[in-house]
Amino acid sequence: MTPSRYSGLRQRTRRGFTYLELIASAMLVAIAGMGAMLSWRLAPQAVANKRLTEMSVQLAVSELERLKAVKYQNLSDTTTPNVFYYDKNGGALVSSTGATYLVKSTVLTQDTNGDNLYDSLDLRELTVEVWNPAETQRYEQAQTLLAYGGL
């Protein structure tokens, strides 16, 4: 190859972007921008959902602990659940007015030894559910078994 051929190749080389490269880079910037905007919009909603979840877990654990603090012999089976109302900060309320959470707890004795007698050899099943006041969405469910000597 002669030096004149190399000089011809250099003259045909152009600097800058082609339209295809320009469109591809614009699309990448647009996709990244949309992702940033969506995450910016969802951030406050995630915080609110976290608060609902954390408070419902705290209420469920608190109710389970309250039931476990009652002696085994003092617990009785419930045919209808005990219902308590709480505000958004976990404060107990007397009625559903202003309530954010509805906590339902039930106690059921399981005949674990199969003697058809409900005595201290059986287990008590404690179940707690945390709902919204309209009972359309359940936030949390906790369940444990309680033996005569404790947990």
In a domain, 2, yes or no: no
Residue 139's pLDDT is 92
In a domain, 90, yes or no: yes
How many other CB atoms sit within 10 Å of the CB of residue 84? Answer: 20
Mean pLDDT of the 111-131 span: 82
Q: How far is CA 103 from CA 65, 93, 106, 136, in A?
A: 13, 11, 10, 13
In a domain, 63, yes or no: yes
- Backbone CA torsion sign across 49, 50, 51, 57: positive
Range of the domain at 69: 18-146
In a domain, 8, yes or no: no
In a domain, 118, yes or no: yes
Residue 130's pLDDT is 94
Residue 4's pLDDT is 57
pLDDT digits (tens, 9 = 90+) for 19-57: 888 899 999 999 998 988 888 887 777 777 777 788 899
pTM beyond 0.75: the answer is no
In a domain, 50, yes or no: yes
Res. 15: pLDDT tops 90: no
In a domain, 138, yes or no: yes
Domains contained in the chain, number: 1
In a domain, 107, yes or no: yes
37, containing H or E segment: helix 19-69
Res. 118: pLDDT tops 90: no
pLDDT digits (tens, 9 = 90+) for 75-117: 888 889 999 999 988 899 988 888 989 999 999 988 777 777 7
